[in-house]
Amino acid sequence: MLWLGSFNLDGKVYSCKHCQTHLALCEEIVSKFVHDLMIDSVNVTMGLKEDRMMMTGMHTVSDIFCVGCGSIVGWKYEAAHEKSQKYKEGKFILERYMVAGPDGSQYLANLDSHVGGSDADDA
């Protein structure tokens, strides 16, 4: 795939911890999990679709990679095999340890200040 550059986002952003390419705006967070963020994302390319057994059941997913450096930054839920998990379809997961927070933190320790509530899901 030909890479022509990345989009710069305005506001508080989450970025690739390796190259600082913008990946998502804080306000785009849909939900948070123990180790991950469910968001809408930019500046990523997708790998091949594959079925994976997750903590919440079987899902068809595609790994997502930073367009700036090629690092894997998470995955996209393509399809949920269980009816109760259909809400995840089309959503992106950024793994917290692969992104830098808006304040430059590497592990998003202050995520609770951006997102209310607490969910537990796929790790």
Q: Summarize pLDDT for 27-39 with one digit per residue, the tens.
A: 776 666 545 666 7
* pLDDT at residue number 117: 34
pTM summary value: 0.74
* pLDDT at residue number 64: 94
For residue 122, is pLDDT > 50? Answer: no
CA Rg, the chain, in Å? 14
Q: What CATH architecture is 13-106?
A: Beta Complex (2.170)
For the chain, the structural domain boundaries read 13-106
For residue 75, is pLDDT > 70? Answer: yes
Q: Are 40 and 61 in contact (CB under 8 A)?
A: no
* pLDDT at residue number 123: 39
Determine the average pLDDT of the residues in 37-52.
86
Nearest to 91 by CA among 37, 39, 48: 39
